Structure 1
């Protein structure tokens, strides 16, 4: 497969408003991408196009060999592992299930177990829980887990079907520093495997060494894209975040600070 994702001249409109405009983007095998932008910049809309839940108003889309309009999108979605804070809308169901059952449910793209589990599937779930350092909570209900444990459990669910593409949509949202770093460590471990990764965030410090490429988006348009060392500059981030940004690298990760803005007060700053 030459491309994992290919978007050509893609636009998307909703209620007469252009949400995405002239998106051209290509993800190749072996690349791990971070998608950065402010809230409302178009990150979620872009994900909805990639996963086939929104159909582009204009342009061409091809994901995992499936060209939109020429093949089954539900079949394509089965090849994608997805972790998002938005999965919280299934909390009522999740809270009743054990961590083990939630991981197992990823095999069937369901929330809950409604089919017989084979010995091989049970063993795979056990292996995933061990890899994510979650075996100690396998029989505990989701409702009693910490936020970090819950996110790692959902990551395990996404891995259960052995997806060809893994999408993490703001997986650290709402986590404290310790839980965030734990989730990021798990993300790095997963990224060491061959499957491509899309990591969506608006926190630049979450871009770990495993991320190879970055896409910056603002107001539905791409500001910059490519290898992270080329894209992550103060100038590009200033344009993306609409505020003066300074950038530095530490421990293989980028960190940013906001430049102090001059204040007008009686002619002095």
Structure 2
């Protein structure tokens, strides 16, 4: 049976290691996510972010250490029931059939990619889907088919699909992948809006681009080489010093109007004069 909460924790990883094919991927990873908190999982390619997200989604088990998701310890719970309480947004959604937007969202009710044969949603389920489509600005797209949607429209559809089962934990796996600047900003506005429409949901967003962090991000964990570089409140973690350490390259981080940006640190010119701009640094 899944407990309602573990104290006020939606997720806890304690001294977690993962080994595959004789290679250790995670080394003593520890952090915990509180109910209603919005975490960013940051790090370079190959750092272990996807492995951690698999643990958070109850898709894989640790080699050692403890993972508790929504109060349930992996290895001691029926996984199918636990997964129904976790929403997962993956822009690489493997849909092949030309389902409509409404039908794609309904697959979140059944926990499938395609709609099951002979399955019919209840009037209450249909009403909930339409409420989500309205909240995400998709009412006018409800009957459009998946292949005709823009990447931004697909992203919002997948968020609605993740929310339709009323999850308590939302995982967003690089949701801005493939989006242009305008579509990215629209998607981030949608994610920011969840803090108001679904304040009880805890979330983890995976990215390696600071510009893709929503302004509602409350906490962050920086990963490098399978180890935690820093974890905690976002303002204390996402700094020039920590990002430089995680990405092993001198990076200057700026936080302005609730959003982050990053650029390579420029070496000072030997004879820099008063007209030379100082690099921005938050660390």
- Is the TM-score greater than 0.5? yes
Higher helix residue share = 1
TM normalised by structure 2 equals 0.89
Hey, what's the Cα distance between the residues in 2 that align with 1:262 and 1:42? 34
TM normalised by structure 1 equals 0.93
1:29-65 CA distance string (max 9 Å, x none): 1211011011111000001112222211111111111
Q: Identify which range, 201-210 or 147-156, moves more after superposition.
A: 201-210
> How big is the alpha-carbon RMSD for the aligned residues of Structure 1 and Structure 2?
1.4
What is the DSSP-based 3-state SS (H/G/I as helix, E as strand, rest coil) of the residue aligned with 2:254? strand
Does residue 98 in structure 1 map to residue 100 in structure 2? yes
Q: Which residue of 2 aligns with 1:52?
A: 58
Q: 2:109 aligns with which of 107, 122, 143?
A: 107
Q: Which residue of 1 aligns with 2:250?
A: 244
What's the CA shift for 1:262?
8.5
Superposition pairs of residues 117-196 of structure 1, within 5 angstroms: 117-192=121-196, 193-196=199-202
Contact 2:89–2:175, Cα closer than 8 Å, also in 1: yes
Q: Which residue of 1 aligns with 2:24?
A: 18
Contact 2:57–2:171, Cα closer than 8 Å, also in 1: no
Hey, what's the Cα distance between the residues in 1 that align with 2:239 and 2:206? 18
Q: Which residue of 2 aligns with 1:267?
A: none
Contact 1:66–1:72, Cα closer than 8 Å, also in 2: no
Hey, what's the Cα distance between the residues in 2 that align with 1:212 and 1:39? 23
Hey, what's the Cα distance between the residues in 2 that align with 1:91 and 1:107? 16
Hey, what's the Cα distance between the residues in 2 that align with 1:129 and 1:136? 9
Gaps of 5+ in 1: 264-269
